[in-house]
Structure 1
Amino acid sequence: MRFLADGMLGRLARWLRLLGYDTAYENHADDLELARRARAEGRILLTRDRALAARKGLRALLIESEDVQEQVRQVVE
């Protein structure tokens, strides 16, 4: 699996990389650019933004916890 983490999930992106997951991180992109990049690169977008995660045609996972250990668990399970 390939992931793209939005600006709210930098720590999660770092942990996923350490665990061997192909994870890109985008700190300065708006929602449209994040969605475009995720689609273009075939990545699952990781976000805490409900509206962004609900966009049609976008593979996204809404990350609910603020705790990075729980976030990692949510992604890998």
Structure 2
Amino acid sequence: MLHNLDKEGLIKKVYPTLETIPDPDSLVNSAILCPTNEDVDSINEIATKFLPGETIEYLSTNSIVNDVNTAVLLHS
């Protein structure tokens, strides 16, 4: 596991303009891959501190809800 200082260096290496983001499209060409969700959360927490302005957190889920009234097409 990387320590926070190593993670900050990694983030700055992968996203050198994260603090100013002159062109948001430049962010789509890079990624930091992590083996666990714990590592993802840690990297994201550190990276968002570099972002200008206010941040917004969107939550997701790791499961689906199967509604009995919804048809599910598995194969075409």
TM-score by length of 2: 0.26
Q: Answer 1 or 2: which has greater strand percent.
A: 1
Q: Which of these two proteins has the greater Rg computed from alpha carbons?
A: 2
TM-score normalised per structure 1: 0.26
Q: Which of structures 1 and 2 has the larger relative contact order (alpha carbons within 8 angstroms, sep 6+)?
A: 2
Give the helix-richer structure, 1 or 2: 1
